[in-house]
């Protein structure tokens, strides 16, 4: 766990950078990584640290930034979609079956309750608190199954929550395979275990990343929705620092490798390759495919620049929203 001083410093620094979202301009640029064009869609200011990206059915892009959810329209207009009513970070985002934006939050300080899941449905309106989670943890990423249940990872506690459509919360899985590595944390500041999360096309298996150990873990789902025995589906030095994940329709899993400034892919057989190592990547933390027309072949990538923002890595932070064209369409989400 982070020390109280470090937690307070991170929270203060990031919350102070949360204003002025609408002042950013849509600013294209590009770079080439291993034959693919990586485009700079939206740069952020030094000190800002976007965390997650998701899209609705109209191809609007939503980004988490400090205690806010930002919205980028297909025309390039950036606005503040909503703000938490508490001092906490918005981390993972996912658009639900109701087309509302669901967000996990954490205060990074166990003495301050910030571990919640929120629902943002309309710009400018306060979000609704959907669920209260363990304040000792840090809920991170989210995924819906085909029945409207929401699954939430907690990399600090090494567990996955399940929240049904009525808001009932259960610890769906807690297992040593989901724990981080306190002896050699990939992001230095703390041990992070289970992080990114995504269902396969048939919702028969849930896939999660383990950030510290560089693993993709597959969790079969039983006939009544219970978690079966998890196992390592893929493991590689290329995956150390694995954060957000997203499937394409072919079954390839794209992985934002936060600690190594790269994008990796895990194929259907569990083989791992590095597909992008662009100079534009700075702590990529989340990936999501477009949802309309040809944009379904666009992979959106958030560079959170977390490590450089807080001086863990040298160099000037380059937080940004990026995109990269892919051959396959993204797997449609529930």
pLDDT digits (tens, 9 = 90+) for 221-253: 998 999 999 999 999 999 999 999 999 999 999
- CA-CA distances (angstroms) from residue 260 to 167, 178, 186, 269, 282? 36, 20, 9, 23, 9
State the average pLDDT over residues 90-97: 97
Question: What distance in Å separates the CA atoms of residue 152 and residue 118, rounded to the nearest whole number?
Answer: 12
pLDDT score recorded for residue 36: 66
Containing structural domain, residue 55 = 4-325
State the average pLDDT over residues 118-128: 96
Average pLDDT value for the chain? 89
pLDDT score recorded for residue 112: 85
Q: Is residue 49 part of a domain?
A: yes
Indicate the range of 12-26, 66-80, 142-156, 178-192 predicted with least confidence: 12-26
The answer on pLDDT for 24 being more than 50 is no
% of the chain with per-residue pLDDT over 90 = 81
Q: Is residue 167 part of a domain?
A: yes
Residues with Cβ within 8 Å of 278's Cβ and at least 6 positions away in sequence, in order, are 31, 32, 33, 38, 263, 322
The answer on pLDDT for 201 being more than 60 is yes
Q: In terms of C-beta distances under 8 Å and separation of at least 24 residues, what long-range contacts does 10-16 make, across chains too?
A: 10/108, 10/310, 11/87, 11/88, 11/89, 11/107, 11/108, 11/109, 13/47, 13/309, 13/310, 14/48, 14/49, 14/66, 14/89, 15/66, 15/67, 15/87, 16/47
Q: Is residue 268 part of a domain?
A: yes
State the average pLDDT over residues 210-217: 98
pLDDT band at 275 (very low <50, low <70, confident <90, very high): confident
The answer on pLDDT for 85 being more than 80 is yes
The answer on pLDDT for 28 being more than 90 is no
Question: What distance in Å separates the CA atoms of residue 142 and residue 91, rounded to the nearest whole number?
Answer: 9
Report the C-alpha dihedral over residues 131, 135, 139, 143, rounded to 10 degrees.
-20
pLDDT score recorded for residue 188: 87
- CA-CA distances (angstroms) from residue 232 to 120, 218, 225, 277, 326? 34, 6, 20, 25, 26
Higher pLDDT, 9 or 151: 151
Question: What distance in Å separates the CA atoms of residue 275 and residue 267, rounded to the nearest whole number?
Answer: 12
Number of domains in the chain: 1
**What's the CATH code of the domain at 190?**
2.120.10.30
Q: Is residue 162 part of a domain?
A: yes
pLDDT score recorded for residue 27: 37
Q: Is residue 188 part of a domain?
A: yes
pLDDT band at 334 (very low <50, low <70, confident <90, very high): confident
Whether 42 and 27 have beta carbons less than 8 Å apart is answered as: yes
% of the chain with per-residue pLDDT over 70 = 89
The answer on pLDDT for 13 being more than 50 is no
Q: Is residue 110 part of a domain?
A: yes
Whether 94 and 152 have beta carbons less than 8 Å apart is answered as: no
State the average pLDDT over residues 2-22: 34
pLDDT score recorded for residue 291: 97
State the average pLDDT over residues 3-8: 32
Q: Is residue 186 part of a domain?
A: yes
Q: Is residue 332 part of a domain?
A: no
pLDDT digits (tens, 9 = 90+) for 143-164: 999 999 999 999 999 999 999 9
């Amino acid at each position: 766990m982070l020390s109280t001083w470090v937690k307070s410093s991170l929270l203060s620094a990031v919350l102070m950078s949360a204003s002025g979202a609408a002042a950013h301009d849509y600013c294209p640029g590009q770079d080439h990584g291993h034959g693919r064009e990586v485009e700079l869609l939206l740069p952020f200011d030094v000190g800002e640290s976007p965390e997650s990206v998701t899209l609705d059915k109209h191809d609007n892009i939503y980004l988490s930034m400090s205690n806010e959810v930002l919205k980028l329209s297909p025309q390039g207009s950036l606005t503040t979609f909503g703000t938490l009513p508490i001092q906490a970070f918005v981390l993972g985002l996912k658009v639900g079956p109701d087309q509302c934006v669901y967000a996990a939050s954490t205060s990074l300080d166990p003495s301050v309750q910030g571990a919640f899941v929120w629902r943002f449905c309309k710009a400018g309106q306060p979000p609704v608190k959907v669920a209260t989670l363990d304040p000792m943890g840090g809920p991170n990423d989210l995924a819906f199954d085909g029945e409207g249940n929401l699954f939430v990872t907690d990399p600090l506690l090494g567990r996955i929550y399940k929240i049904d459509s009525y808001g009932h919360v259960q610890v769906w899985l807690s297992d040593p395979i989901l724990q981080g590595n306190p002896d050699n944390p990939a992001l230095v500041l703390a041990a992070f275990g289970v992080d990114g999360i995504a269902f396969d096309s048939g919702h028969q298996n849930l896939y999660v990343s383990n950030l510290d150990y560089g693993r993709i873990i597959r969790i079969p789902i039983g006939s009544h929705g219970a978690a079966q025995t998890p196992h390592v589906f893929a493991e590689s030095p290329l995956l150390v620092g694995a954060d957000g994940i997203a499937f394409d329709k072919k079954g390839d899993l794209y992985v934002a490798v936060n600690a190594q400034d790269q994008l990796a892919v895990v194929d259907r057989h569990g083989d791992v390759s590095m597909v992008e190592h662009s100079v534009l990547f700075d702590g990529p933390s989340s990936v999501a495919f477009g949802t309309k027309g040809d944009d379904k072949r666009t992979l959106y990538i958030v560079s959170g620049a977390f490590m450089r923002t807080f001086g863990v890595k040298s160099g000037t932070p380059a937080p940004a929203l990026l995109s990269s064209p892919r051959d396959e369409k993204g797997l449609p989400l529930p």
